[in-house]
Amino acid sequence: MQEFIAFNEQRAEIYWWMSSLFARELTDADLHEYHGGEMYTFLSGLGMTEELKAPVDSFRAAIKKSHARSDEQLELAADFCGLFLSTPKSGALPYASMYVGTTGLLNDKPAQDMHELMASFDITQRKDFNEPADHLAIELDFMGNLIIMGNQQQTEEQREALMQSQLSFIDTMLLNWLPLFTEECQRRDQFGFYAAAANLLLAFCMLDKKFLAGE
């Protein structure tokens, strides 16, 4: 049981890490960690899984390439803004509504669905992150919280119910638009750092779905 709890904690940490990566620009302190030994060890561990080896290798190459930029922090911040804080015509906006909504506008039905889902699990959005509920960072943060909530259940039936909730969430709220978002990142991100990150996230979500489905 302790191994299962620890494994779930690792899953949650990955979702939270990816959430922070798509929530805001990386700082100099963040980049120092990205080029340090702990991140190298972390990514090496992820890359030991066959399904993640290629996307991990691509992301590690993007980190190395980023380190060679003349003003890395400012240039990555510009990439972030150009992709995620711009317009649908020029960027890859990180909102489900832009890919699976019906109006082509923010706060479409996916945002409303996400807001209702968060309320049903009594999981609140961070007050310092004032974005529609279907922002990728919010959805990934929610998934991390859902995993930890599953760890806190007292019975096998309760834990299994939370696992099924996680599977449903990945299937209907993440993987229904992440492939399209990843394609846009690859098309729009000329430098490639965030495109590689999105590709790694997609591969991890697909792998996590298999784990939750017992495949």
Distance CA 203, CA 129 (A): 26
Low-confidence stretches of the chain (pLDDT beneath 70): none
Give all domains of the chain, ordered by start, each with its CATH number.
Answer: 1-213 (1.10.3480.10)
pLDDT at 206: 98
Instruction: Annotate the chain with DSSP letters as a single string.
Output: -HHHHHHHHHHHHHHHHHHHHHHSPPPHHHHHHHTSHHHHHHHHHHHTSHHHHHHHHHHHHHHHHHHTSTTHHHHHHHHHHHHHSS-TTTS---BTHHHH-SSSSTT-HHHHHHHHHHHHTT-PPPTT--S-TTBHHHHHHHHHHHHHHHHT-SSHHHHHHHHHHHHHHIIIIITTTHHHHHHHHHHH-SS-HHHHHHHHHHHHHHHHHHHHHT-
Phi, psi of 134 (to 5 degrees): -95, 15
pLDDT at residue 215, rounded to an integer: 83
Angle at 186 between CA 180 and CA 189, to 5 degrees: 125
pTM of the model: 0.97
With beta carbons less than 8 A apart as the criterion, state whether 8 and 58 touch. no
pLDDT for 127: 85
CA distance linking residue 56 with residue 48, whole number of Å = 9
